[in-house]
A and B are shown apart, each in its own frame.
Chain A
Amino acid sequence: MTVKLILRDKEYEVRPGMALLDALKKNNIVPESVIATRDGEIITDDEVLRSGDVVKLIAVISGG
């Protein structure tokens, strides 16, 4: 099983065993612009992603 990253209405798939930071960079997601949660808990960018993980990315930028 792969790892799924969800940011707003977009989904990205990465392979298990990657650190979150690498997974974000690989998909051109700026790490500073998101907070990652897994099972409702915030995870740090050194977290190694496991098979079947669903990581919800919360965009942090607001304002106009």
Chain B
Amino acid sequence: MKCRKCENKASIHMRQHKLALCKEHYLEWIPEQTERFIKKYEMFTHEEKILVAVSGGKDSLSLWDILIKLGYQADGLYLGLGIDSGINYSHESQRLAEKYANENNLKLHVVDIEKEFGQSIPVLAEISHRGYMRPCAVCGLAKRHEMNRIARDLGYDVLATGHNLDDEAAVLFGNTLNWSSEFLLRQGPVLPASSSGLARKVKPLCRFYEREMTAYAIMRGIEYIYEECPFADGSQSIFYKEMLNQLETVRPGAKLIFYLNFLEAKKCGNLFIEKNVEQQNLHPCPKCGQPTSTPDLCSFCRMIEKAKAETV
């Protein structure tokens, strides 16, 4: 397979875009596309100060890397969660986040939850009895709380997270299965700031597949934590991601369409608005007389007309 831009051997094939690129052109394409999404969704400008939530994983480190490459003012925030589970998970994540910051001469704020609030995330979860046998709910709550606090206290204009399309599609899938209308209406590439003190939150990688971000991190030589969070094993979001990837293998582009059509429906106000069929602009089809909302012939008659025309 050859690169569409230079005919050299391709390193990645993105079947949903029918696009294959070599390493050199892929490393140009990802930042170009990110810039396009930042502008399209009006996430932030070059004049604004961005705080990137950095976990030591491939997505957040890649996001930081891309934003710096694009010339944005982006500092990092690492939250120490105190997750050990025999593999020193948090310690290793922090080491990699600090390594990236030091090597690139970037500012990284480090907040240790245990030092700040007296308990690590797993202990807080145990004490508070939140979540179903996992500390994930407490972890999410603490991260949202602390990211917002630091962004606000340190005067950042916007908080950027490394959520990719697979993250977004998995959340969307879960919320759709449950018809969680409130969550569905809140999901998107940008969560605006509120007068009550919530910082603006943005997801510049929300249109890249997880596979693409992994490829970017590898090609850029970014050292990230490969080990999964020990508490993520068997989680619902990972299960949904695996299911969606099976669908994607059979129907390339399914994840992208699922997410983008959702955003479009939300933007157009087509989510959860009960339509009164009688009130739609129905008129009788001039051919069959049945009600239709399409101009002129109804869809069925148009199809029949087309079929007749093609068989003549």
Give the interface of A toward B (CB within 8 A): 30-35, 37, 41-46, 58-64
Chain B contacts to A: CB under 8 angstroms:
1, 10-13, 20, 23, 57-59, 134, 136, 139, 166-167, 170, 209-211, 213-215, 218-219, 226, 228-229, 231-232, 235, 237-238, 241-242, 245-246, 248-249
Query: A42 contacts which of B134, B213, B218 (Cβ < 8 Å)?
Result: B218
Instruction: Indicate whether A44 sits within 8 Å of B13 (C-beta atoms), given known contacts A33-B245, A35-B218.
Output: yes
Known contacts A30-B245, A32-B248, A64-B136; A58 and B214 CB within 8 A of each other: yes
Bound complex: CA A43 to CA B238 (Å) = 25
Docked-complex contact A37 and B218, CB < 8 angstroms: yes
Query: By the criterion CB–CB under 8 Å, are A63 and B241 in contact?
Result: yes
Knowing A31-B249, A37-B218, A42-B218, say if A63 contacts B232 (CB, 8 Å).
yes
- With contacts A44-B10, A44-B11 taken as known, whether A63 is within 8 angstroms of B249 at the C-beta atoms is no
Known: A32-B246, A44-B1. 20 other contacts (CB 8 A): A30-B245, A32-B249, A33-B211, A33-B245, A35-B218, A41-B11, A42-B12, A44-B10, A60-B211, A61-B210, A62-B228, A62-B232, A63-B170, A63-B237, A64-B134, A64-B228, A64-B229, A64-B231, A64-B235, A64-B238
15 contacts between A and B (CB under 8 A): A30-B246, A30-B249, A32-B248, A33-B241, A35-B211, A35-B218, A42-B215, A44-B10, A46-B1, A60-B210, A61-B210, A62-B57, A62-B232, A64-B134, A64-B136
The 8 closest A-B pairs by CB, nearest first: A64-B232, A32-B245, A60-B214, A64-B235, A32-B248, A44-B13, A42-B11, A60-B211
Residue among A30, A35, A62 having the largest count of chain B Cβ atoms under 10 Å: A62
Q: Which of chain B's residues have a CB closer than 8 A to the CB of A64? A: 134, 136, 139, 228-229, 231-232, 235, 237-238
Q: Tell me which residues across on chain B come within 8 A of A45, comparing CB atoms.
A: 13
Give Cα A54–Cα B237 distance, bound, in whole angstroms: 31
**Contacts A30-B242, A32-B211, A44-B1 known; A63 to B167 CB distance under 8 Å?**
yes
Check if B166 sits within 8 Å of A61, measured CB to CB.
yes
- Residues of A near B246 (CB, < 8 A) are 30, 32
| Chain A neighbourhood of B238, CB < 8 A | 61, 63-64
A62 contact set on B, CB distance < 8 A:
57-59, 210, 228-229, 232
A31–B14 CA distance with the chains assembled, in angstroms: 12
**What residues of chain A lie closer than 8 Å to B23, measured between beta carbons?**
42
A59 to B20, CA, bound (A): 20
* Residues of A contacting B211 in the complex (Cβ-Cβ under 8 angstroms): 32-35, 60
